Amino acid sequence: MASDYRRELFSALQALQAEKGISQEDAITSLKDTLVTAYKKNFEGETNVEVDVDPEKQEFNLLQIKEVIPDGDMIDPYSEIYLKDAREINSAYEAGDQIKFEINPRDFGRLAAQSGKNKSTQTIREKEKEAIHARYEGFEHEIVSARVAREDQRFLWVTMPDGQEAAMGDKDRIPGETYKTGDPIKVLINRVEDSATRGPQIYVSRTSPELVKRLFEQEVPEVYDGTVVIESIAREAGDRSKVAVRTTDSNLDPVGTLVGPRGSRVQAVVNELHGENMDIVEWVEDEAQYIANALNPAEVVDVIFSPDNDNEVTVIVPDYQLSLAIGKRGQNARLAAKLTKFKIDIKSETQAENDPQLQAILEESAKYAEEEDQSDETDETDETDEALEDETEYADANEYFSEGADQFDASEEEKTSESAEESSSAEEDSSKAKAKMTEAEVKEAQDEFAAALKNVDFDAILEEKEGDDNKKSDDK
């Protein structure tokens, strides 16, 4: 049965675990460090101590270890015991054996108790820091619901769900947003840093493009399960974002999926970001088409890739669409470039016509495209000729077997005629019966021939025929 003070100590440890979020192993380690430190202080730095802890029974024992020595040779009474005194405890003890004596921590002096408390506080603080760092390090780039706590000259502080505070700097705050203490707010855990002096520090953001992605994952089940994939996001926080999406299901419209019925899904994201506009475009493998999609809502006439730089393109738009394609303060073009990872130069059709270098590239592209078309036409012609040759060979085979069938029918007719002449002297009834038998035999022969044709290897026959023709040509 554990004593009262031991039960109280274990109850305090359990409360500490819940409050600080540390494990039972760390709490027990803290208890051991506390008792050992208090012992050393009480016994002038002695280290001959051992702590046994049983969490299930809520018991612990502080044990002082003494070595049995021959009588008269004692140097340290805290770590040694005479043989005669040891044998009073148990007559089996010999010199060199070790004996453990239980010590009550309540017998320690005030200074020893304070030293143990300080050590315990330090250990708990270190374990708490480690627990916080480990917990939040695994949640980097994840979204959490927090509440505004306070604001100082450097940071806006928010309270996380577990009560831990996180900092949001000026660059991570959406321009124009105002915050009041207690306001709910969704933030992205940007990074977790571990400082030797201040401990772990959590930094959160409202301007990261990842926040937009996580918000869509919360609103759109198809994004969360991977049916719709967000390939890229370009964002100017508080003003406009462009989101490129694709689908792994050919029957699903990725853009419409994110927009939702009557725009409900995208509107929920817009509301969370306090009115930030969202342009959702479809991601495609064709880079030219992808760039054209990224410049939505502007209409694109042509996309020309630079021959000198694979990451530079010139986009041609109708004259009346030039300002729309560039956007207010160049925002549309800038976001499209971030989204596609291409350097985009936008020109109107009139500007393109007056640009000699651009016209040269267009002419070269047109020439190349014409050569490609001719190559495709040549390939199609070759395929058509091969198909016609196959049909001709098949037609020759049908003709060949048709001639054989006609010859067979003629031979049968001759046999029938001869048979009829030989039986001319017979009676009329016998002659009719003979004629009927001949017709049956002819039909049976024709059926057998038709069945035989089914087992004929036409390809082999044609190859043999071609071989014979080639041999004849060689003989000539």
- What pLDDT score does 424 carry? 45
- Whether the per-residue pLDDT at 240 is higher than 80: the answer is yes
- What pLDDT score does 419 carry? 47
- What pLDDT score does 289 carry? 95
- What pLDDT score does 397 carry? 46
- Whether the per-residue pLDDT at 45 is higher than 90: the answer is no
Angstrom distance (rounded) from CA 300 to CA 332 = 13
- What pLDDT score does 415 carry? 47
> Percentage of the chain surpassing pLDDT 70?
61
- What pLDDT score does 306 carry? 86
- Going by C-alpha positions, the residue among 62, 38, 60 that lies closest to residue 110 is 38
CB 80 within 8 A of CB 95: no
Interacting residues of 180 by C-beta distance below 8 A, sequence separation 6+: 148
When pLDDT is cut at 50, 70 and 90, the band that residue 123 belongs to is low
Q: Residue 167 pairs with which residues in a beta bridge?
A: 157, 203
Q: Out of 69-83, 235-249, 412-426, pick the least confident.
A: 412-426
Identity at 39, one-letter amino acid code: Y
Burial class (CB in 10 A: 0-12, 13-18, 19+), 342: buried
- pLDDT tens digit sequence for 391-404: 554 455 455 445 54
- What pLDDT score does 196 carry? 59
C-alpha to C-alpha distances, 371 to 209, 366, 375, 399, nearest whole angstrom: 44, 9, 6, 42
Angstrom distance (rounded) from CA 158 to CA 143 = 13
Averaged over 166-192, what is the pLDDT? 92
Does residue 107 or residue 133 have the better pLDDT? 133
When pLDDT is cut at 50, 70 and 90, the band that residue 120 belongs to is low
Angstrom distance (rounded) from CA 453 to CA 450 = 5
Averaged over 121-134, what is the pLDDT? 68
- Whether the per-residue pLDDT at 26 is higher than 50: the answer is yes
Kindly report the number of other CB atoms within 10 A of residue 194's CB atom: 13
Kindly report the number of other CB atoms within 10 A of residue 369's CB atom: 10
C-alpha to C-alpha distances, 102 to 40, 41, 50, 90, nearest whole angstrom: 15, 17, 10, 16
When pLDDT is cut at 50, 70 and 90, the band that residue 426 belongs to is very low
Angstrom distance (rounded) from CA 205 to CA 167 = 9
Distance of CA 184 to the CA centre of its chain: 29
Does residue 88 or residue 385 have the better pLDDT? 88
Angstrom distance (rounded) from CA 128 to CA 23 = 9
Identity at 468, one-letter amino acid code: D
Kindly report the number of other CB atoms within 10 A of residue 294's CB atom: 28
- What pLDDT score does 236 carry? 94
Averaged over 24-35, what is the pLDDT? 72
- pLDDT tens digit sequence for 203-221: 999 999 999 999 999 999 9
- Whether the per-residue pLDDT at 435 is higher than 90: the answer is no
Q: Out of 67-76, 251-260, 332-341, 391-400, pick the least confident.
A: 391-400
CB 16 within 8 A of CB 125: no
Q: Using CA atoms in the order 456, 460, 463, 469, what is the torsion angle rounded to 10 degrees? A: -50
- What pLDDT score does 370 carry? 64
Strand boundaries in 378-420, DSSP class E? none
Length of the chain: 476
Q: Which tokens sit at 143?
A: 């979204």
Q: Residue 201 pairs with which residues in a beta bridge?
A: 193
- pLDDT tens digit sequence for 293-351: 999 999 999 998 988 888 899 999 999 999 999 999 999 999 999 999 999 999 988 88
Q: Residue 147 pairs with which residues in a beta bridge?
A: 159, 184
- pTM greater than 0.75 (yes/no): no
- pLDDT tens digit sequence for 342-380: 999 999 888 888 877 777 777 766 666 666 666 666 666
Averaged over 116-139, what is the pLDDT? 67
Give the number of C-alpha atoms closer than 13 A to the C-alpha of residue 134, restricted to the C-beta side.
Answer: 9
Where residue 92 falls (left for φ over 0; alpha for ψ -120 to 50; beta otherwise) is: alpha
- What pLDDT score does 323 carry? 92
One DSSP character per residue, 417-462 reads HHHHHHTTTS-HHHHHHHHHHHHHHHHHHHHHHHHHHHT--HHHHH
Kindly report the number of other CB atoms within 10 A of residue 337's CB atom: 20
Q: Please give the order of strands across the beta sheet that includes 277-282.
A: 228-236, 240-247, 277-282
Averaged over 448-455, what is the pLDDT? 46
Top-ranked range on mean pLDDT: pick from 72-76, 185-189, 419-423, 441-445: 185-189
CB 204 within 8 A of CB 141: no
Kindly report the number of other CB atoms within 10 A of residue 412's CB atom: 15
Burial class (CB in 10 A: 0-12, 13-18, 19+), 419: middle
Top-ranked range on mean pLDDT: pick from 49-63, 333-347, 451-465: 333-347
Q: Which tokens sit at 62?
A: 């502080």
Residue with tokens 């401990």: 199
Does residue 105 or residue 150 have the better pLDDT? 150
- What pLDDT score does 18 carry? 67
Does residue 267 or residue 451 have the better pLDDT? 267
